[in-house]
Amino acid sequence: MNQIDTIDAADASVMTTTQAAHFLGVAVSTVQKFVESGQLASWKTPGGHRRIPMVELRKLLAPVVAPVAAPPHGGEPTHHGEAEAARLHATRRSGLLDTPAHARYDRLVRLASQVVDTPVALMTLIDEDRQWFKARIGMSMTHTPRSWAFCDVAILSDAMLVVEDALADPRFAHNPLVTGLESVRFYAGAPLVDAGGFRLGTLCVLDRRPRLLTREQAWALTELAALASEEMQRGCR
């Protein structure tokens, strides 16, 4: 029986930030960020101590899957207008595009591959017409056309995108990464966000067989993406 199973009867209880951090397996500072950003609902006691409902922690542990939306005219999702222009500007302003590999990002990609147990893991940036890999493992290409990028769908939302079987998903069934030599069937990607809130790309994992993502793996991938985002925000190139 795992830790989550032992608390089924305790959803009405509350935790301190320290207890919440231990439960989630993250740093106290990470819990504080979740509270400040509104990802975790909480309140303060008369003495000023933060309390977090257990039910909110359980919600956060569940993997969030972006909804399947039919792209216009049966094609790829569209990115246009001032919001996309601002996102592209932020991507270029990051100074990450076309830079050499960096040990910190390489380490996060290796960890993503290991914790989700996939042969491929990538740190991607979505430029105007391409998907470029700042860090990669298990993928020989350094970039792909943007029209091929699962990550191009992932950056449309703050939610993690999970594709359990690309051949069964009308958005990706005819994608060259699925039908070609790479034979991608499974994808999970969490957005990378800069200090201005722009989603520049993702930290993602891929497999060549259909599969499920456990909530523990989803949590780990989300945490690794958050770490990569923090490195970006600190100017790590």
Query: Tens place of pLDDT for every residue, the chain, 237 residues?
Result: 343 333 333 344 888 888 887 776 566 777 787 788 777 788 888 888 888 888 887 776 654 444 444 443 333 444 668 889 999 999 999 999 999 999 999 999 999 999 999 999 999 999 999 999 999 999 989 999 999 999 999 999 999 999 999 999 999 999 999 999 899 999 999 999 999 999 999 999 999 999 999 999 999 999 999 999 999 999 999
Task: Name which of 157, 163, 225 is nearest 190 in CA terms.
Answer: 225
Angle at 69 between CA 211 and CA 177, to 5 degrees: 50
Continuous segment of H or E residues that includes residue 192:
strand 186-193
Residue 69: the pLDDT is 44
**Fold designation for 72-233:** Beta-Lactamase (3.30.450)
Contact 201, 151 (CB under 8 A): yes
Mark out the alpha helices in the chain (DSSP H runs).
Answer: 17-24, 28-37, 54-61, 81-93, 103-116, 151-154, 176-179, 215-233
Task: Name which of 230, 224, 34, 7 is nearest 116 in CA terms.
Answer: 224
Measure CA 186 to chain center. Answer: 14
Residue 73: the pLDDT is 32
Residue 213: the pLDDT is 95
Instruction: Decide if domain 5-61 falls under CATH 1.10.1660.10.
Output: yes
DSSP secondary structure code for residue 169 in this structure:
-
Residue 176: the pLDDT is 92
Domain boundaries, the chain: 5-61, 72-233
